[in-house]
Amino acid sequence: MEKQTHLLFLLLFFSFTAIIFTEALAKEGRRGSLKLFVFGDSYVDTGNWEKFGPCWKEPYGMTYPGRPAGRFSDGRVLTDFLAWHLGIESPIPFELRKPENGSSVENGMNFAYGGTGVFNTTVNEPNMTVQINYFEQQLEQNVFTKDDLNSSIALVSLAGNDYDYDASIIKNDIKFVQASQELTTNIIHQLSINLKRLRALGIKKIAVTTVEPMGCLPKATVFSGYNNCSELFNGVAKYHNQVLANEVQKLNKETKDSHIFLLDLYGAFMSTLTKNGQLSGNSEMKTLLQPCCVGLEGKYFCGSVDKSGVKKYSVCSHPELSFFWDDVHPVQNGWKAVYYALRSTLNENIHFP
């Protein structure tokens, strides 16, 4: 009898262990199938630009991976940090995919192109609508399945490339505000169409970036010697983000089958750039508004070389201490700081059954 009881105990023990192990495998399987799909601009592009672009030339990529690799930074960008948070590698850029190699899409796919917006911009690259077309083609070709989408996330970046003004408007504050607010209405309307489309295609969770403080970008602060942010352009960003927040709230009320949430780049940038309300600096730079990589003259920019191949730019001694890499984009450590500021939002919103 005692022997039978012992055998029964062992049987129950191993049965219970098997159940736990099976559940663990199931969870791990869901974790392993998690994919990240990326749409937007240079803040999330990891290699879709054609190789004549500046992001494929030195000194871009000098920190990671140690050579130019198509990122608009000295190293990793927002996509890389979100992928790291999810426990996966950065998804393959659409332009670098290899259809014959199925494993290349195991982490999802990146459809973002630097310089683009929801509308066509001065950059001749696919806007967000076209990017979603590419994604839909991948679904039609069964590169990704419905099961892939059930535990996947879309990252949508809109950093402000659609805000392009005539110089005469910028000089008139009233006209500028009116024009920017009308433009914001159109931009958010088109973005909303894009988000609904991603939702209809089967994406369950969508992270959308707010616009960063555009008035604090080096291209705006250069006129003050990198000492002050432009409140006019920051006002545009704040208005954009408020309209965006209202629209996202509206979209989430329409259905419970998916969830859209905001990644507050404005707040994340500002919390990194300032301390106790004052602009921060480092041993090499008076304020963090100053970019690490700059052109030697007005007609040159980060990565410029003349016809003889002579460098026409300079790079700071310690990129890791800077926030901005060039006149628009953060350095890798800048993006890392932004990620840490966004981490609580990610933890609150990324859950799968």
**Catalytic residue set:** 42, 326, 329
Give residue 21's identity as a one-letter amino acid code. F
Going by C-alpha positions, the residue among 139, 264, 115, 247 that lies closest to residue 194 is: 247
Give 306's DSSP letter. -
- Report residue 6 as tokens: 């012992």
Strand partners, 275: 278
Q: Which helix (H) or strand (E) holds 259?
A: strand 259-263
Per DSSP bridges, beta strands 35-39 and 108-110 are parallel
Dihedral sign from CA coordinates of 114, 120, 126, 128: positive
Exposure letters 253-267 (e unless 16+ CB within 10 A, then b): eeeeebbbebbbbbb
Going by C-alpha positions, the residue among 159, 152, 35 that lies closest to residue 92 is: 35
Could you write out the DSSP letters of every residue in 17-73?
Answer: HHHHHHHHHHHHHHHHH-EEEEESSTTT-SS-S-TTSGGGSTTTTTTTTSS--S-SS
Alpha-carbon gap, residue 258 to 208, rounded angstroms: 13
Could you write out the DSSP letters of every residue in 168-184?
Answer: HHHT-HHHHHHHHHHHH
Cα–Cα–Cα angle for 193, 198, 203, nearest 5°?
150
